[in-house]
Homo-oligomer: A and B are copies of this chain.
Amino acid sequence: MLATMVTLLLLWPNPAKADTHQFSLSIEDTIVTLVDKQTFHTFSFNGQTPGPLIHVVEGDEIEVEVENNTTLPHTIHWHGLYQRGTWKNDGVPDTTQAAIAPGETFTYRFVAAPSGTMWYHCHVNVNEHVAMRGMWGPLIIDPKEPLPVEKEVTKDYIMMFSSWVSNWASKPGQGGIPGDEPDYFTVNGKSFPDTQPLRITKGDVVRIRLIGAGDELHSIHIHGHTFDVIAKDGRPLVNPYPADTILLGPGERYDLILRADNPGLWMVHDHIDRHTVNGKSPMGGIMTVIEYTEIPLAEQSFYKWKDKKFAPDFFYEESLKKPHGMHENEGFQGIPAP
């Protein structure tokens, strides 16, 4: 451990300027609700799916103590990070470490680099733990020198996509095998109509950070706007390109910039149509609505969700405004598994 610390010290170009963060993540057996009465047994980070937001600055020194309170082995991989000089902190069982056994603790130490939209997830039996047990959370690393367009951003949202096979909902340690038929589809762990709207105002410069956290592809369409794709996998694109639909594979991230110039109520959804069901019921899954504050919802008689209770941190938009650090999100909390 001392050797690792020395290595880290040598790596930091401006040690005086880098912040140090110490976080604790416990892995728990947790029951979450995807939508309506559909519950699912997850291995959660601090009891929530998706996991807490980790939000730091490029070059910050990170220490994460992980405690495994489940009955199965796990690790945490920090997807997209360089781990320069710290490869044994990359979180791959049998390759960079022994998996963290039930009841044990492991501390990851690394520098936050490169900047961008990253994420963390378990790397043990990913076909079950990542594809279907909700073992993922967002890791946002702010650049030391943001792009001009990033300085314009007024609203910042994170969307993590995943799919679920209800047959395995109550059978932890099983599933994620050939023949599985995903039948629930979520953004930040919830299916429509239990997702939340994105509330924006004309003039907003909206960044949406898409993260392919599950096992299905998603073809995300935003109505009424052209957005610019400004980054892939957290890395800025020299040539952003415009689109209204973007295809996202597992593990990929895309940062979109949408300039709010068109007040209305606009659907945002997966255009893979089979991902807009809840079980066998249509008009669910990966769907939500952009609500411009200029539109008086109460007057829209046809708008079915006009009286829905608003949870402002659903896309981590409140958490992203807090000081750098790790932030839990009450709305994503499940209950301890019996």
Contacts and interface: CB of A to CB of B under 8 A. Distances in A.
Interface in A171-200: 176-183
In the complex, which of the residues A90, A92, A180 has the most CB atoms of chain B within 10 Å of its own CB atom? Answer: A92
Nearest to A263: B87
A178 B181 contact: yes
A199 B266 CA distance: 41
A36 B95 CA distance: 20
Nearest to A289: B95
A282 B125 contact: yes
A273 B224 contact: no
Contacts of A233: 226, 242-245
Nearest to A237: B241
Contacts of A126: 273, 276, 282
B82 A262 contact: yes
A180 B178 CA distance: 10
A327 interface: no
Contacts of A241: 232, 235, 237-239
Interface string A232-272: 11110111011111110111100000000111111100011
Nearest to A88: B264
Given A176-B274, A282-B125, A302 B98 contact: yes
B82 A225 contact: yes
Given A215-B273, A239-B238, A252 B245 contact: yes
Interface stretch (A53-61, A127-135, A146-154): A127-135
Given A90-B267, A178-B279, A235-B242, 10 more contacts: A83-B223, A90-B224, A90-B264, A92-B223, A96-B302, A126-B276, A178-B280, A239-B241, A247-B249, A249-B272
Interface of A: 77, 79-84, 87-88, 90, 92-98, 114, 123-128, 130-131, 176-183, 212, 215, 217, 219, 221, 223-226, 232-235, 237-239, 241-247, 249-252, 261-267, 271-274, 276-277, 279-280, 282-283, 289, 295, 302-305
